[in-house]
A and B are shown apart, each in its own frame.
Chain A
Amino acid sequence: MSTAVIPTRGGPADQLTDDDQALVWTVATLLLDVVPAFSEAVTRCIHEQIPSLPQDEEHHAALQAVASAGPRELLTTLRAGMPASAHETPVEMLAHARFVRRRGLGLRSLVDIYQVGFPMFRNVVRRELEEWANDRAQFERVAAAADDYAFAFIGTAMARQAVEYGSHDGGWTPAPGDPALDSAAAAEGARALREEQLARGTWLRARPEQSHARRQAECALDVFAATIERGVRDHDMSRLLMLADTTLTVTLADELDLSVTLLLDRSPVEVLDGEVESEARMWIASVDLDRIWSPDFYLPMAITKGRVRMEGPLRKFLRVVPMLRELADVHEQVAAAMPCEEALDA
C-alpha cells in the first residue's frame, strides 16, 4: 500500500483504523480503472435527467471530460493521502464551468449537472466499499468518512465555479440527508454501470496491484519529463529554465517510489529518471502534475494548502513555473503521443 488516506481532522475520519484506510486505498485504486466507463455512463445519465441541456457533440465531450476529471481527482487525492483542507477546484472543472456559461447555461443548470453526477459516483463508491469491507460496521465508518471528504470537495469546487457566474452564494455543498443524494436515477445509473461492466468482464480487478492506477500515475510523470525535454530541445526553454539555478526531485505523492529529477543548474538543463541528490524536493499528486501547465493551477497555492509538499529551496523552481505555461500545447501533444491512454483502456 502506498500511503494512508482520508487524513481529515475532526470528522468521521478520526475514527478510521489502519484497516479502514487500507480499504479506502484499495477501492480508490481499483475504481481509477473504471473512470472512463463511469464518465460515459454518467454523461448519458445527466443528459437523460436534464433534457434541457444541449445535446450536441461539443457539449457532450465537455461534459464527459469533467465527468472523468472529478472522479479522477477524488480517487487520486485519496490515494495520495491529501487532507480535505487541501481540496481545490480542478482546472478541468473550471474550464467546463466557463464552457457551459459561454453556451448560455445558468448556474442552476451547472448545479443540476453535479446533483446528478455526484450522487451517481457516490453510489458507485459506496457499492464497492460495501463489497470490500470486512463487515457492516467498517463499511459505515468508511462510507461516512468518504462522504465527509467528497462533500468538502464538491462544496469547494462548486463555490469556485459559482464565482465564474458572479455569485458568492451559489453552488452546492452536499450534506448528509440532502435529497439530491438519494436520486433514484443516480442509484439506477450506478447499478446499471456495474452490471454492464461485470457482464463484459471489465469491472474492477481482483487486486489493487493489478489495476492501472500506478501506470496512470507513471504516465503523468513520463509526460511531464518528456514535455520539459521537448521544451528544452524544440522551444529554446533551456536558457529560461536555467534561471532557476537549482536541482529538483519531483516525486509522485500517489506513488512515492516514482520520481524524476530536474537539473536546472546547467546548460542545457537535463531531466533524469528517478531520485538523484538534489537541492529541493517536491511531492505532487499525478493529477496536479498534469495541470502544472495550466494558467489556472497555482503551484505556490497548492503548497500553502498542503496539497503539494516541499523540502529545500523550492522558491528557485517556483520562479520559472509560470514559463511552463508556454509549454501547454507541447504537453498536450506529448500526452496524445504517449501510449498511456491505450494502456489504460486495455
Chain B
Amino acid sequence: MLERSPDGNGNGAGPEPGFDPRSTVLLDQAAAYEYALHEGAVQFGEEEPGHFWSIYVKDCHKRFGSNAVLNGVDVGIPEGMITVILGPSGTGKSVLIKHLIGLMFPDEGDVIVHGESLRKMKLSRLLEVRRKFGILFQDGALFGSMSVYDNVAFPLRQHTDLPEDEIAEIVNARLDDVGLTNAANRLPNELSGGMRKRAGFARALVLEPEIVMFDEPDSGLDPVRTALLAQLIMKMHTKHGGTYIVITHNIDAARKLGEYIAVLWKGRIVQAGGRDEMFTSPNPFVRQFLAGAEEGPLGME
C-alpha cells in the first residue's frame, strides 16, 4: 500500500533502518510508480553459495561516467534451466552479460558463479571459470579464414590435448547436432545468417560448457529462422543439460525459450521468476512487455 508522507509532500523524516520504500512512505508519485513496478527476483537462500544458483548477481552497480547502466541488479540464474534476460534496447543487457562472464566487474556488488565470487578471483582462476562458459555471439563470431569444421574444432585444439581423431569425433557430433554436417568444409562467408549462428552454437558447445550464453541470438534472423533456432536451443538444452542464458529483447523468443525469465529495465530487474509466474504476473510493466502491448507504463522514452 503506497501512502503519502505526513506532510503530504514526502518531506518527512528520513527512512528508518530496514525501511522498505514499497510498503511505507514514498517521496513522490514518480518514485512510487517506479517502486510499484519493481517486484524483484526470486529470493531463494542457499545453504552455501553455489548449492542452488548457477550464477547469482548481488546488488550489481555499474556506471560509465554519469551514466548508471546497472542500477542494483539482484538476480539468480537457476541451474539447469533456460533463463531469458529480457529487456528493451539500451537497458543494460550487454553490460550485464559481460559481468556474468567476468569481462567486466561491478563498481559495487558481486557476481557469484557456482559459489565463487568473480570479483575476488585471481586471474588464473577466472580464466579457468570462463571455461565453464560457452558463448554464442550475435554474429556467430566465426574466424573468416577457417572452415566451419576448423572453427568448431578451434576451442578443442586451443584448450585440450585431445588427438585429432577424438577432436573429429566431437566436432562431427556437434555439427550433426546443429544440422551442419554437410557444411563442414564451407567458409563462414558461404553460409547464411542462420547457418553462421548454428556454427557458432556448435562451437559454443564443443567444450561441454556448464553455462551457455546467447547474446541476442535472434538478431538478423527472420521470424522463421528465429523459431527454428529457438527449437534447436531447446533441443540442445535437453540433450546436453546445464544452464542456458539467452539475452534478448525479442518477446517471441522469450515466450518460446524462457523457462525462467528476468525482465531488465533501466539497469535493474523489474521481476524475475518461472515462466508460469511471469506469464501470470500482475505487474503492469511485465504484462505489457510480455504481451508486446502498446498500452502500459512502458513508453517511447
CA distance in complex: A88, B277 (Å): 10
CA distance in complex: A303, B210 (Å): 20
Q: Please tell me if the beta carbons of B238 and A295 are within 8 angstroms of each other in the complex.
A: yes
Residue among A88, A300, A315, A325 with the most chain B CB within 10 A? A300
Q: Mark B42-83, 1 if CB is under 8 A from A, else 0.
A: 101001101111100000000000000000000000111100
Give the residue name and chain of the B residue nearest to A241 (CB). Answer: B241
Taking the nearest CB of chain A, how far is it from the CB of B235, in angstroms?
Answer: 10
Contacts of B33 in A (CB 8 A): none
Q: Please tell me if the beta carbons of B48 and A313 are within 8 angstroms of each other in the complex.
A: yes
Q: Which listed segment binds B: A133-141, A220-228, A304-312?
A: A304-312
Give the residue name and chain of the B residue nearest to A164 (CB). Answer: B279
Q: Mark B253-288, 1 if CB is under 8 A from A, else 0.
A: 000000110000000000001101101100000010
Contacts of A163 in B (CB 8 A): 276, 279-280
CA distance in complex: A33, B221 (Å): 54
Contacts of A303 in B (CB 8 A): 44, 52
Q: Please tell me if the beta carbons of A300 and B238 are within 8 angstroms of each other in the complex.
A: no
Name A's interface SS. helix
Determine if A180 is an interface residue (Cβ-Cβ < 8 Å): no
**Which residue of A304, A311, A319 contacts B241 across the interface (Cβ within 8 Å)?**
A319
Determine if B242 is an interface residue (Cβ-Cβ < 8 Å): yes
How many A residues, CB 8 Å from partner?
30
Q: Please tell me if the beta carbons of B238 and A319 are within 8 angstroms of each other in the complex.
A: no
**Which residue of A243, A310, A318 contacts B78 across the interface (Cβ within 8 Å)?**
A318
CA distance in complex: A312, B237 (Å): 24
Q: Please tell me if the beta carbons of B280 and A160 are within 8 angstroms of each other in the complex.
A: yes
Contacts of B291 in A (CB 8 A): 168
User: Given A312-B47, A315-B50, A322–B280 Cβ distance below 8 Å?
Assistant: no
Taking the nearest CB of chain A, how far is it from the CB of B285, in angstroms?
Answer: 13
CA distance in complex: A323, B241 (Å): 5
Give the residue name and chain of the B residue nearest to A323 (CB). Answer: B241
User: Given A299-B80, A322-B237, A314–B280 Cβ distance below 8 Å?
Assistant: no
Contacts of A313 in B (CB 8 A): 48, 50-51
Q: Mark A253-296, 1 if CB is under 8 A from B, else 0.
A: 00000000000000000000000000000000000000000010
Q: Mark A310-346, 1 if CB is under 8 A from B, else 0.
A: 1111110011111101100000000000000000000
Determine if A1 is an interface residue (Cβ-Cβ < 8 Å): no
Q: Please tell me if the beta carbons of B51 and A321 are within 8 angstroms of each other in the complex.
A: no
Residue among A168, A319, A326 with the most chain B CB within 10 A? A319
Determine if B239 is an interface residue (Cβ-Cβ < 8 Å): yes
User: Given A303-B52, A314-B51, A326-B239, A321–B80 Cβ distance below 8 Å?
Assistant: yes
Interface size, B (range): 20 to 34
**Which residue of A299, A311, A323 contacts B240 across the interface (Cβ within 8 Å)?**
A323
Q: Please tell me if the beta carbons of B114 and A315 are within 8 angstroms of each other in the complex.
A: yes
User: Given A168-B287, A322-B238, A323-B239, A300–B52 Cβ distance below 8 Å?
Assistant: yes
Determine if B250 is an interface residue (Cβ-Cβ < 8 Å): no
Contacts of B259 in A (CB 8 A): 298
Determine if A198 is an interface residue (Cβ-Cβ < 8 Å): no
**Which residue of A243, A300, A314, A319 contacts B260 across the interface (Cβ within 8 Å)?**
A300
Determine if A61 is an interface residue (Cβ-Cβ < 8 Å): no
**Which residue of B50, B52, B81, B239 contacts A298 across the interface (Cβ within 8 Å)?**
B81
User: Given A300-B52, A300-B260, A304-B44, A319–B210 Cβ distance below 8 Å?
Assistant: yes
**Which residue of B44, B243, B287 contacts A319 across the interface (Cβ within 8 Å)?**
B243
Task: Work out how many contacts link A and B, with CB atoms closer than 8 A.
Answer: 89
Taking the nearest CB of chain A, how far is it from the CB of B43, in angstroms?
Answer: 9
Contacts of B177 in A (CB 8 A): none
User: Given A168-B287, A315-B52, A321-B241, A300–B78 Cβ distance below 8 Å?
Assistant: yes
CA distance in complex: A314, B46 (Å): 10
User: Given A299-B80, A301-B260, A318-B79, A310–B239 Cβ distance below 8 Å?
Assistant: no
CA distance in complex: A200, B182 (Å): 66
CA distance in complex: A88, B273 (Å): 13
Q: Please tell me if the beta carbons of A159 and B280 are within 8 angstroms of each other in the complex.
A: yes
Q: Please tell me if the beta carbons of B276 and A89 are within 8 angstroms of each other in the complex.
A: yes
**Which residue of A298, A319, A322 contacts B274 across the interface (Cβ within 8 Å)?**
A298
Taking the nearest CB of chain A, how far is it from the CB of B52, in angstroms?
Answer: 6
Q: Please tell me if the beta carbons of A315 and B280 are within 8 angstroms of each other in the complex.
A: no
Contacts of B51 in A (CB 8 A): 310, 312-315
CA distance in complex: A89, B44 (Å): 20
Taking the nearest CB of chain B, how far is it from the CB of A170, in angstroms?
Answer: 10
Taking the nearest CB of chain B, how far is it from the CB of A126, in angstroms?
Answer: 29
Q: Mark A159-173, 1 if CB is under 8 A from B, else 0.
A: 110110000100000
Give the residue name and chain of the B residue nearest to A280 (CB). Answer: B51
Contacts of B116 in A (CB 8 A): none
Contacts of A299 in B (CB 8 A): 80
Determine if B208 is an interface residue (Cβ-Cβ < 8 Å): yes
Contacts of A318 in B (CB 8 A): 52, 78-80
CA distance in complex: A243, B209 (Å): 10
Contacts of B210 in A (CB 8 A): 319
Q: Please tell me if the beta carbons of A315 and B79 are within 8 angstroms of each other in the complex.
A: yes
Contacts of A192 in B (CB 8 A): none
Chain B residues near A (Cβ < 8 Å): 42, 44, 47-48, 50-54, 78-81, 114, 208, 210, 237-243, 259-260, 273-274, 276-277, 279-280, 287, 291
A-B contact pairs, 6 of them (CB 8 A): A163-B276, A168-B280, A168-B291, A240-B240, A304-B274, A321-B80
**Which 6 A-B residue pairings sit nearest by Cβ, starting from the closest?**
A318-B80, A300-B78, A301-B274, A318-B79, A304-B44, A315-B79
